[in-house]
Amino acid sequence: MSVALTSSPAPASSRQQPLRVMVVDDSVVIRGLISRWIASEPDMVVAASLRTGLDAVNQLERINPDIAVLDIEMPELDGISALPLMLAKKRNLIIIMASTLTRRNAEISFKALALGASDYIPKPESTRVATAADIFHHDLIQKIRSLGAKLRQKGPAPSPALDRMRELSPRTAIANPDLLRRAFGTQAPRALLIGASTGGPQALMTLVAQLGPVIDRFPVLITQHMPPTFTTILGEHLARSSHRPAHEGVDGEIIKVGQIYLAPGGRHMRVARQGGEVTIALDDGAPVNFCKPAVDPLFTSAIDVWQGGVLALLLTGMGSDGTRGGKEIVAAGGSVVAQDEASSVVWGMPGAAAHAGICAAVLPLDQIAAKLVRLFSGDRS
C-alpha cells in the first residue's frame, strides 16, 4: 500500500445522500480520528460515534447507518459478538471490521467475514507514526466509499419472500456483450494467476474448493491485497478449502504443481526462471497501484516464464490493479477472465479489466471454476 495518499474523488452527483457511517471503538483517540476523517469527506457523514458493541446493537435502529466501522476488542460486547446481532437488525448493513495486526485478530477477522462482514482493515499499532496513520486513513476512506457505492447500486434490501423466489429460480449469467471483446488465446494455458482484493478471501475459498483438476496439473499463484499475518492465515484457509497445500511463497522456492502459492503480505511476488526451474521471487520494492503485494508484478513477470501460456483471473476488489499486467498477458498471447459485477463485493479490479477490453470472459463466481477446468483441459472457447 502506498504512502503517497490521496482519496479518490467523491461521486459527482449531489442528489445522493451522504453515506451514514457509524464508528464503534472503545478508544476515544481512534473514534475521534476516524470521525474527523469521515466528516471531512463530502460524500459521507458520521452517523454516530460509539464506545461498545452493545451501544451499537442497542442504537442501530435509531441511528440507521449505511456502514459501521466495528472494532474487534471492546468492553461489554466485542465486535465479533456484536456483528451478527447488528446484521439481524439490518441485514444490508455494511460492516468493516477494524483490528490490530495480531494473529488472533486476523483469525477473528476471517471469522467475521464468514459471518457477514463486508471487509476488514488493520489498525496501526500507533497513530503517532505519520506514515501508518496516513495509510490507515487512505484505506479506510477508500473502503467506505467503494463499499458504499455497491450498497447504492443494490438499493433497499429485498424481502424474505423475494429471497426465497431467487433461491428457487435457476441462476443465469447476465453478461454485457460490450465487455466480451476478445477471444481466448490460442496457446493452451500453463499457469493460473489470480488477483483479488476486497471480498477476495471468501471468493478464493469458494473457487479453490472446485479447482482440484487445475491445481493438480498446473502452477497456481495468487496475489490477494492483504497485510502480513493475514496472508499466512489465508493460506491455511485455502489449504483447508482446496485439500491441497497452500502457503505464502518463499523467495527462491521452486514452484511445483499440486500446490497454491500466495503472495506474502508486505512483499511483491513474482516468478522467475533459474536454470530449468520456475521459482518464486519476492521483493520489498515500492507499492504498486497503492498495494503491496500488488497483482501487476505477478502478472507481468509470468510472461517471461510462460509467454502466451498464462491464464489470469481477476476477482472482486477495489481499484484497477491487474489491468496493466493483464494487457501485457493478452499482448503476449495469454488470456484474462474476470468476475462479474453482480457477484463481486466491489467491481473495481475485474471491472477495470473488463472495460479495458482485455477479458475473454466475465463470469459469476459460481461459474468460474468450471470454466477454468475446461480451459485447462483444452477447451479454447
DSSP 79-142: HHHHHHHHHHH-TT-EEEEEEES-HHHHHHHHHHHHHT--EEEEEPS-TTSHHHHHHHHHHHHH
Can you tell me the distance from the alpha carbon of 95 to that of 345, in angstroms, rounded to the nearest whole number? 12
Active-site positions read 197, 225, 321
Q: Three cell numbers at 109?
A: 477477522
Can you tell me the distance from the alpha carbon of 263 to that of 204, in angstroms, rounded to the nearest whole number? 14
How many C-beta neighbours within 10 Å does residue 276 have? 5
- Residue 282, strand partner residues: 269
On the CB side of 87, CA atoms within 13 Å amount to 17
- Residue 273, strand partner residues: 278
Which residues have CB under 8 Å from 36's CB, separation 6+? none
- Residue 278, strand partner residues: 273
What is the amino acid identity at position 130?
A
Q: Three cell numbers at 299?
A: 502478472
